[in-house]
Structure formats: C-alpha cells, structure tokens
Structure 1
Amino acid sequence: MPASHLARRTVLAGAGLLVPGLALAAPRYDAVLWRGEGRNPYGAPGYRSLSKAVAAAPANGARPFRILVTRGVWDEQVVIDKPFIHLVGEDRRASVISHLAASGLTAPDGKRWGTFRTPTLFVRAPDFAATRLTIQNAFDGLAEMTKPGGLHSHDGAGPQAVALMLDKGSDRARLSEVDILSYQDTLFPDAGSSLFERCLVTGSYDFIFGAGRALFDQCEIRSLVRPVDPVEGYIVAPSTPIDQPVGFVFHQCRLTKSGATKPGSVYLGRPWRPSSAFPDGRYGDPRYVGMSAFIDCWMDDHIAPEGWTEMWYTGKDGNPRTMLQPEEARFSQFRPRGPGVGPFKRGRWLSSREAKALVAAARL
C-alpha cells in the first residue's frame, strides 16, 4: 500500500470517521450505544442503554473503558459507579444523555424526587471522563414556573432539576466540550476534584453548586431568563468546606445570557450553608464556607454590579432565614471584562499573583 494511503487511513481512523471504500479500523471503543439492527460498524459490543454499557465495564478497571455515545437521545437516569468510565460522543449536540426529574414532581416510588435524586447522571467513582456530548435534565423549568400553580423554588419541593452530579466517590473527573443543560441546580460538583474544559453550562438559580473542587477553563456559563422572580439568577452556590482552600474557579470563561435576561439581574453567586445534625439540633453547618473565583472572565450586562450576594440558612436558634453574607464567604474576582463588569464591592479583588496561584491550585 502506498505510504500516502496508509497515512490517510491513519488520520481518518484517529478522527473516528468511517468512509465508504476505505477498509479502515475504527477507533477503539469498549462499548457502543446502538439501537440499530445487526452488528454496529465500530467493532465493539453494542448496548441499547448507557446503564447496560456501564454494567459491562470491569468493577475495578485500571484503564479507560470507552463508551461511544452515538447520535440520539438516550433517555435514562444513569449511575457511574465504576472507575475509568469514559464517555465519547459521536456529536456534541446530537449525542444526548437525558432524563426528566424535578424536586417537586412525583417519582416512580410515589414520593417527591427531592433535589438530590433528580440528576440525569450520577458519578460515584474516580477518573470519569466525558467529551463531545450533551447531558441534560429535560424538565422545563421556565414553563413550569410560569403556569398557574406551577412549582417555585421557595416551595421546598420546587423546580430543582440536576443534570450532572459528581457525588461521593467521584474524583479527577474531566469533561471536555460537553453541554450540561437544565434550568435550576443544573450542575452539582459535590465531591472530589473536577475539570471542565470548553463546556457549556446553562441555568438560572444556583445552577453550579456543591462542595467539590472544580476548575472551569474556557467554558460558557449561560444564564437563562427567569421572569417570575425579581432576581433572575445566581450562577454559583458553593458549599466549600472551610478546610478546603479551593471551590469553584472560573478561568477565561464567558458569562453569557439568553436574550430576555435583564441587565444587572444575575449575581455571580451566593454562599450555600447546608444543615447538619448536632447534639443540640439541626442547623446550618459552620464548616461550610463557600469559595468561588472568576478570573479573566468576560461578562455580559446581566451581571449585577454588586457581583455577590447573601443566602439564607437555618441558624442555631432555629431561624430558617438567618443570612450568610458574601463577606463571610470566600468570593473573589480578577480582571473581568465586558459590559457586565461592576465595582463588585462584595467580593475580594485578587492580585495577579494570587489569581495565577489559584488557577494552578484548582487544576487536576
């Protein structure tokens, strides 16, 4: 075979392209999501659901188990409970892992879902990776909140609908060119470390929240309109443990908005203090002091000039509306640009040296 033909076959195989007339080997996958009849063209076992593909992976794998997510909507709730599961999408926007669940809706067991049971994808094992696909919670939060008698966030069983949760057991998760879509409480990096590169995250209220360590590098963070509330949104609600120096760090990201989102209506974030049980009662745990920083980010005009704001928690005296101020948390920014840049007096301004060190500390 001429060297030029061999080189061409090598390039095409690496890109995952199947070209009629060329007998090339597809890139190696361990499993393929496949609804077609007969053998799939990728030379790997085919499965009709992601859960079944994950079940086929070794329990304690020491190398990546690569699952090709082919084009289509794969409607299921999935738990990743094995290490080194790597999801590779055939098409970033057409390879979709989807499920519909919201806190206030009734689950199959007859109980309300509650926020922590809603994720489309739970990751509970280390070294998870995903690239070029979409993870979404299909619950239509805007439609629900704008209809008479719809679910509202102040109800306690409202429109919270998580797309992705990095749960206990997750660590070193890496997502690249992934769209993570929902309306409220979209992304829940609650454990371990994670890296999001060139991803899109959409939502309105507290749509990136939790206690984990996460670096968002060159991502788009898109705020969605929320016409039913006076405040249209909060991007982050970190619950970072006080002994953990890094929470959510956004580096060279773009903070964008849907068209109808009002100027100055979205805060960078507010500090979430979850409750824990103590000998003298259950109340907001002082060990959680949220940390987040926006470094070298472009911001559209929807960002509130104060930057950061307060958030309620249950006080030791039982008052459910005790307020945790942003000055009591660890919120900061460095060199923002764009029409949404304000004085951000409620967050700390970092020096160049501090910003560089913080990005380095957030990396995997």
Structure 2
Amino acid sequence: MYPQLSTKQQPFNAIVSKNKKPGAYRTVTEAIAAAPVYSATKYYIHVEAGLYKERVEVWKNKLTNIVLVGDGQLTTKISWNRRAPYFRTYDTATVLIRGDGFIAKFLTFENSAGDGSQAVAVASLSNQSAFFQCTFLGYQDTLHPKRGFQFYRECNIYGTVDFIFGAAAAIFQSCNLFSRLPSTITFTAQNKQDTNITSGFVIQNCTFTVAPGMERQKPLIKAYLGRPWSDFSTVVVMESYLDDIIQPTGWLSWGNTTTDKLTYYEFRNHGPGAATSKRVN
C-alpha cells in the first residue's frame, strides 16, 4: 500500500541542511513552501541531521504528496513548544499536516512545552498519510491522527495523557508506546462520533511500557489502554506486549461519555498486563 516506505530511496527533490550546503534550504518550512502545488507524484525532501527549531505546516490541497526523509530518529529532529490554552489543541502541533499523501521517515518530532496541558508533536489531517521509523516526543496529546486513513510502522511514541488521540482510521504496527510520568497514563483517546464514520485505531504487534530509563518508577504508574473521547470510540489492541503498568481493568471511563456503544477489543496480547479476566465490561 505504501511502496514509498521501502528502504530503497528515491532521488531527492530538495535538501534541508544546517551546514550551509549550496542549493539546500535552511529550514523545513522553506523546502515545503518550494514544493509544487497539487502534485500527483511524491516530492522527496531530505532533512539532514540536525535540530530544526521551527513549526511546520503542510497546507491542505495545495501541498500534496510531500515526503520528509531524515537521517535517523536520533539525529534529525523537528522541535517547537506551543501549548494549550494559548492555542487550540491541534494548533499546538509542532508539525501540522493537512495535505493528503504525506509521508515521513527516519525523523523525530517533538513538542518541548513539557507536561501540564495539551502540547501536540504531530497533528495529521492528511488522508493516506504514513510514518515509518519516526519518534514522537510529548506528554499530553502527543500524536493527533485527526482524520483520514493513516499508517504508523516501527515508530516510538512518548506521552502521558491521551497521547494518541483523534478520529482517524489509523493502524499502528510494530510501534513502541512509551509512558512517561506523571502517574496516571491513558495511551489512547479515540474519537469516533458516529457509526457511519470510518474511524478507529488498530494497534498490532506493539509494545506498551514505560519510557527507557524509567523502569524503577513503574510502581508509580497506573496505565490504561485508553478512554473514550466519544460514545462510539473504537480501539483494537492485538498481538501486542502489555507491561505490568497496565491496570487490571484495562480501560478508563471519561466523564459523561456513555460506554454501551464503545468498541474495545483485545486479541492475543501477551505480557504481565495482558490478562483480561478483570477488564471492565
């Protein structure tokens, strides 16, 4: 479905560099702004190693089929620090993607605002978007698959409260979901609002655990697979490793949201948090 995720790299159409390389752009924003509008083919932008402190937007319709390729999650990072309540939640995003067909590979996206309020690293409204070997760093509301069909493979996602949230139809495959402090963690907050909408999260062959270096703080953490943002919230967790931070009830309620229309499935998971005998009904 996504041949552009293969390790064989296409020629780059543009380069972003911190090293004043001739012909290269200095910022990711400049490189995206120079891309052709309404492109029917992929436009490849190489983001070389470095810390890029900027907020990036990929505009709807005008900028389609943008592909960002970094030099690795440990070496190429885009970082900014917007947070609520000073901005609407999805406008806090370090990278806000509206143009369809967006792809990112070998990059880290960070919202460095810290804990305490919503601060999104990536908000994607891009239909048929995909992320491969990317890291998303944040606390509350780290990753916002807002709508459309989206695919995440071999990604690292860090957060605390509702840190994967939205109404997209999104698949997470072979990803690490890392909880950070404070103590009460909700990995997902899915926002399907109607039975006629194609919306839901499928999390397959993933790992739910604490962030590296936090192993000794496990006793302080109470984690839940998710809570329902809307009445028809839909999440499937399958063939994944659930660490012992996952509470026996598995899922958490949210205010006045009804629970009789939810779709929460667990299938063939393993690990100390995978037992379902005490799950909520």
TM-score for the superposition, normalised by structure 2 = 0.89
Amino acid paired to 1:248? F
Alignment match, 1:267: 224
Alignment match, 2:3: none
Which of 31, 35, 46 matches 2:18? Answer: 35
* Alignment RMSD (CA, Å): 1.8
* Residue pairs, 1:301-316, within 5 angstroms: 301-312=244-255
Which of 43, 46, 51 matches 1:68? Answer: 46
* Residue pairs, 1:1-364, within 5 angstroms: 28-39=11-22, 45-81=23-59, 82-104=63-85, 112-141=86-115, 151=116, 159-167=117-125, 170-227=126-183, 232-242=184-194, 243-258=196-211, 259=214, 260-262=217-219, 265-273=222-230, 289-312=232-255, 323-343=256-276, 345-346=279-280
Alignment match, 1:6: none
Amino acid paired to 1:331? Y
* Preserved CA contact (<8 Å) 2:227 2:251: yes
* Preserved CA contact (<8 Å) 1:327 1:346: no
Amino acid paired to 1:171? N
**Shift of residue 304, structure 1, vs aligned partner:** 1.0
Amino acid paired to 2:122? L
Report the 3-state secondary structure (helix = DSSP H, G, I; strand = E; otherwise coil) of the residue aligned with 1:249: strand
Higher Cα Rg, which structure = 1
User: What whole-Å deviation, never above 9, does each CA across 1:54-99 have from its counterpart, x for those lacking one?
Assistant: 0111111111111111111111111112111000011221100110
**Shift of residue 35, structure 1, vs aligned partner:** 2.7
**Shift of residue 342, structure 1, vs aligned partner:** 2.9
Q: State the alpha-carbon separation in 1 of the partners of residues 167 and 190 from structure 2.
A: 6
Q: State the alpha-carbon separation in 2 of the partners of residues 218 and 262 from structure 1.
A: 26
TM-score for the superposition, normalised by structure 1 = 0.70
Q: State the alpha-carbon separation in 2 of the partners of residues 197 and 38 from structure 1.
A: 31
Q: State the alpha-carbon separation in 2 of the partners of residues 264 and 29 from structure 1.
A: 44
Of 336-345 and 248-257, deviating more is 336-345
Alignment match, 1:284: none
**Shift of residue 166, structure 1, vs aligned partner:** 1.0
Amino acid paired to 2:187? I
Report the 3-state secondary structure (helix = DSSP H, G, I; strand = E; otherwise coil) of the residue aligned with 1:311: coil
Amino acid paired to 1:253? C
Amino acid paired to 1:209? F
**Shift of residue 325, structure 1, vs aligned partner:** 4.2
Change (3 A) 1:304 1:326: farther
Q: State the alpha-carbon separation in 2 of the partners of residues 174 and 30 from structure 1.
A: 19
Q: State the alpha-carbon separation in 2 of the partners of residues 304 and 326 from structure 1.
A: 18
Amino acid paired to 1:332? Y
Q: State the identity %.
A: 29
* Preserved CA contact (<8 Å) 1:264 1:304: no
The size of the alignment, in residue pairs, is: 266
Report the 3-state secondary structure (helix = DSSP H, G, I; strand = E; otherwise coil) of the residue aligned with 2:90: helix
Q: State the alpha-carbon separation in 2 of the partners of residues 341 and 56 from structure 1.
A: 48
**Shift of residue 246, structure 1, vs aligned partner:** 4.1
Change (3 A) 1:15 1:244: closer
Q: State the alpha-carbon separation in 2 of the partners of residues 213 and 293 from structure 1.
A: 11
**Structure 1 unaligned blocks of 5 or more:** 1-13, 17-26, 40-44, 105-111, 142-150, 152-158, 274-287, 313-322, 348-364
* Preserved CA contact (<8 Å) 1:224 1:261: no
Amino acid paired to 2:159? G
Amino acid paired to 2:235? S
Bigger share in helix = 1
**Shift of residue 271, structure 1, vs aligned partner:** 0.6
Q: State the alpha-carbon separation in 2 of the partners of residues 309 and 212 from structure 1.
A: 20
Q: State the alpha-carbon separation in 1 of the partners of residues 242 and 87 from structure 2.
A: 34
Alignment match, 1:315: none
